Each structure stands twice: as C-alpha cells, then as structure tokens.
Amino acid sequence: MKAAVRERLFLLLLLTLTVASVPWTERKNVLFIIADDLRTSLGCYGDTVAKSPNVDQLASKSQVFLNAHAQQAVCAPSRTSMLTSRRPDTTRLYDFNSYWRVHSGNYTTLPQHFKSKGYTTMSVGKVFHPGIASNHTDDYPYSWSVPAYHPASFKFEKQKVCKGDDGELHANLLCAVNVSEQPAGTLPDLESADEAVTLLKSRAADGAPFFLAVGFHKPHIPFRIPQEYLSLYPLEDMSLAPDPDVPKLLPPVAYNPWTDVRKREDVQKLNISFPYGPIPKDFQLRIRQHYYAAVSYMDAQVGRLLSALDELGMTNSTMVVFTSDHGWSLGEHGEWAKYSNFDVATRVPLIMFVPGVTAVRNWSRGSTFPFIDILSQSEYSFENAKVVRNMVELVDLFPTVSSMADLGAPKSCPRVSLQVELCTEGKSLAPTFRHAEKGKNAELLAFSQYPRPADAPQVNSDLPDLKDIKVMGYSLRTWDYRYTLWMGFDPQTFQVNLTDVHAGELYMMEDDPGQDTNVYSDFERSLATRKTDGLSRVASLQERMKLQLLRLTAGMKTRTRAKHDRLGRV
C-alpha cells in the first residue's frame, strides 16, 4: 500500500471514531458532482443531440436551474469563485497563479463550512483547480478531512496516447481510445468514479454525514474517451454550430483565439490561421462529435455514482448537486473554447436533488437512480421534476447548498470583504425550492467577467496572466439582454476605470438568442443624448452596470414599440 493511500485510510478511520458519538441521523449528506467545461449540452436542458440519460434521470427528481451562469469562464477562477462564493474581483484570481488565502483573503470554502459543522469532507478528481490556485493541496487541510484523491492515469492525459490516422500515437485533440490499450489500462474519470464508489461504501458503513465532491475531467479537451461512445454520434448525423462564423460586429477584444485547441498535434496539421481560423468544416463536425461523446461518457460515470447511492440505501439521505465550472463554444462565433462572456461559455448546468424536497417517494432500495447503460439501451425518456428559469449564478451555490442541508446561509458580504472569512456574494436559492416560479423576474441578473491583455486578439488573449491584464469585460445577463462593457483595468490595484470603455456588446435575446448581432453602437448613440448625472454617486460597478442596463432597457422598449407600430401599419 502506498504511503499516501495509507495516510488517507488512517485519517478516515480516525474521523469515523471521533464523530461517531454525535447523533447524525437527520443530517443530509452531500454528493457534489462537477464536470469540466460542460455547457448545457444535456437532454434535460433541451439539447436534442446529447445522450445523457443518467443526468436526465437525476433531473427528473431534481430542481433544474435552466439559466445558471459562471462568474468567469475558465477553470481556476470559476471554481475558486464558486467554492468561496466570492466574485473574481474579490478572490482576485483571474488566471491560475495565486492562492486566495494569501493573495486576497482567508475565505471559508463550501466544503470547509461543512467540515466545520462535523461533516467528513472528501475530494475526488478535479474539484479545486490543482496547482498554485489551491496551494498544491486542493486546499487541504482547510477544505477536506483527508487529502484529495487524484486519478493516477491523468498524468498521461496530454501525452502521445491517441492513435492517429497513420496508426502512430499522437498528442491529439480527438482521442477516442481502446481503454485496455491505454497506459495503466484505465482513464481518469473511470478511476475517479471507482474511488468515489469506494468512499460511498465506506461512508455507508460508518453512518456519519459526509460531503463528497467528485470532479470529472470530461468533457474538457483532449477528448480522450472510450472509443465506443463515438458510435452514439454518427458523423453523418452531426451538424455545425448554427453561427459558425466570427460575427461582423464583434469587437476584437471580445474574441479569443482558442490557443489550447491549436496546440494539439492533429489540429496543428490543419495549419489554421491565427487568430480567426476557421477550422475546416469536416474537422468541426468531428470536434462536435467527440465533445458529445465525452458528455455521454461522463454521464455514465455520474450514473455509476447515483446507482451506488441507491444500492447503499443512501439516496433518501443524500443531496446531489450536479454542475460544471463553465461552458465551451462548439464553433459558435467561430470559437472553440471557454474564455469569453458569451452564454455558450458562461452558462452551466445546475441540478439539485434534495430528498424529501425535490422528490418525495417510496424509497425502496435500488429504484431511484438505476444505472442506464447508453451503449446498450437507446430508449429512455425523462421529464424534469421542476425548473427554475430565472437567472442564477454559481456564487449562489454555497449559500443554497448550505441552506438546503439545514446549515443556514452565510451572511451577505460587505462591499469590501477581504477580512471577512465567511460571507457570500451570492444569495441562497432555498426559497425557489418552496414554491413554483411566478413567471420571469427581470430584476434577477447574472454577472460574469473576462480579462484581456489587449484590444486585439493575442496569443495570450485566452488566459492572460494577472500582470498582463489591460482590459476587463464585465457582462450582465438578464432575461432579455446580454450587455458587456470592456473597460480599462489596472492589475496592480485591481481597479476598473469606468470612464475608459474600450468596447461594448449588446445582444437582444428575443431576436438574437445566439448573441451574434451586436447592437451596442445603436444604443450607445441613443445613450449619449441622455442625461448621466447621478451616476457618479453610484460606487459599485454592479449597480452602475445595472443602472446603465435599465436605461438601455428603457431605450429598447421604445424602439421595440416603434418597430411593432411599424409592423402593425404594414
């Protein structure tokens, strides 16, 4: 037995002994599942291509948030923001290179909060972003009762392990493999699911409450997945993104050149021009095919965890949260990455199963989440139990999960919260579980941001280091609009210069759901003729953007009415 494994087992045993005397029977366990780079390409989100029966089955017993948005569409900043419930301007992490406890503030994380309430907290796979962003320990020991588990086969992820068309092994983007021929004979997410099931079994025997976080690596690139999942998506059935070209009115600062995709050997062979591409159409179809296959593969691992809960008789005492760190553009706007403020990059699945709340049923053993093997069973059908359409944000997750586990929600953060260890910049969504949504609430906004090193696409536009950030794109999503302002930003003071607007974007969702027609300049013109007094009194950027948005909205209503009047006359 390896020393690290032995240490983890010993710590688990120790914990078991120390908390066993407390009566825990009414405590809800938490199984927190996070996918990597998963947009809402799931059956339960209305995607008709995706085959995701296990997540869809979970959704059929859950509350499904249809419009949940990440605060920054890249792994480390999004995960740190979600798990501390602070926005990137408070974690001060926009890249991969700092640890919030020393760089900004000693913020309490979601698992740490559960740990402080007596839960055994465990991390499997990619939950925190590994490396500097979590002090090379996944924030152990603060967040976790035992050191985090990482699948050993992940070290091969970027190596030459993909059989190319020439029969040789390459470090490819498209990497559907025969698992038994892979080094170690397995894949990271298979290993993580195995480990998570083992931990669930040990928890079932023990009975003390747990918070188990499982971070799957897929559908993040490279698409190193078991080859059989490709057959679910025949190439002839695949189609291109509805808007595969770079929009004409897209400000260059908003565009990101997807450099990580370009680095893969199979993509390099295509000699794609920088920064705009495009990727040849037949290869675009194959990327989409592989992404969807990676989703189905990840879905199967989720199914294994859920059916283990069933078999262990823990479904009725375990809250299940399923989400992702951000989305991924599958060719929309000519992009193949996260790294932007478009919905395809910021919008994520957010599904919460709360036993006794989202589902009240006859809990007979093994019947709530039976495993659905999509490779042998093609027919299935589920309807979401309950949906919430209003905008929500990943910073809401901490107070919501905490509330639904009866641990209460942290108080709201003051404007400057660097010294406050436990508070939230989101809000508890617990009230949404108590009653049905009363139509759309236009007041609810989702707020995201993305940094850039320059006004035009550079090699580091996807992911600039903090010191190189010159422009920050702040973006608001409401029911009706996405509104983004790219403004001057000082990486030393973390201050945005509100009068230094480099570019703007405005998309009207009703006419333009894909966010392809930027109408910002039309409204900028109408804005210029309006009074702006009073705005200087509003210190917070959010308030300022909200105000601007409301003013724009007023302008738009007039315009829409005028358009309707015209149409009426025709």
Ligand X SMILES: *[C@@H]1O[C@H](CO)[C@@H](O)[C@H](O)[C@H]1NC(C)=O
Residue numbers of the site for ligand X (CB under 6 A)?
A: 101-102, 106, 135, 142, 178, 180-181, 271, 273, 313, 316-317, 362-365, 421, 488, 497, 499-500
Of 44 and 212, nearer to ligand X (C-beta) is 212
Taking each helix axis as running N to C, give the angle between helix 75-84 and helix 397-404, from 0 to 180 degrees, rounded to the nearest 10.
40
CB of 480 to ligand X, least distance (A): 30
CA distance 402 to 25: 17
CA distance 242 to 228: 27
Of 191 and 310, nearer to ligand X (C-beta) is 310
**Other CB atoms within 10 Å distance of the CB of residue 132:** 15
Report CA-CA distances (Å) from 267 to 29, 154, 164, 226, 264. 44, 22, 12, 20, 5
CB of 27 to ligand X, least distance (A): 11
Partners of residue 501 on adjacent β-strands: 487
- One-character DSSP codes across 483-499: EEEEEEEETTTTEEEEE
Strand bridging mode 446-452 / 386-388: unpaired
- Element (DSSP H or E) covering residue 19: helix 3-19
CA distance 570 to 562: 13
CB of 128 to ligand X, least distance (A): 13
- Chain centroid to CA 258: 18
Strand bridging mode 471-477 / 386-388: unpaired
- Interior angle at CA 539, CA 541 and CA 449, nearest 5: 10
Of 112 and 289, nearer to ligand X (C-beta) is 112
In b/e form, how buried is each residue of 81-117, taking b as 16+ CB within 10 angstroms? bbbbbbbbbbbbbbbbebbbbeebbebbbbbbbbbeb
CB of 100 to ligand X, least distance (A): 9
CA distance 410 to 64: 23
75 labelled catalytic: yes
Q: Which residues contact 450 (CB under 8 A, 6 or more apart)?
A: 72, 73, 74, 339, 340, 341, 472, 473, 475
CB of 556 to ligand X, least distance (A): 27
- Element (DSSP H or E) covering residue 227: none
CB-count exposure of residue 263 (10 Å: 0-12, 13-18, 19+): middle
Of 36 and 266, nearer to ligand X (C-beta) is 266
What does residue 327 show for φ and ψ, rounded to 5 degrees?
-95, -155
CB of 326 to ligand X, least distance (A): 26
Task: Specify the amino acid at residue 299.
Answer: D
DSSP 8-state code for residue 1: -
* Alpha helices (H) in 256-356, listed in sequence order: 259-262, 265-268, 281-311, 343-346
DSSP 8-state code for residue 448: E
Catalytic residue among 44, 75, 175, 413: 75
CB of 390 to ligand X, least distance (A): 31
CB of 181 to ligand X, least distance (A): 5
CB of 35 to ligand X, least distance (A): 26
- Element (DSSP H or E) covering residue 208: none
Among residues 176, 193, 177, the alpha carbon closest in space to that of 185 is found at 177
CA distance 559 to 117: 54
CB of 179 to ligand X, least distance (A): 8
Among residues 385, 322, 320, 323, the alpha carbon closest in space to that of 348 is found at 323
CB-count exposure of residue 427 (10 Å: 0-12, 13-18, 19+): middle
Among residues 294, 216, 239, the alpha carbon closest in space to that of 41 is found at 294
Catalytic residue among 44, 69, 113, 129: 129
Q: Catalytic residue numbers?
A: 75, 129
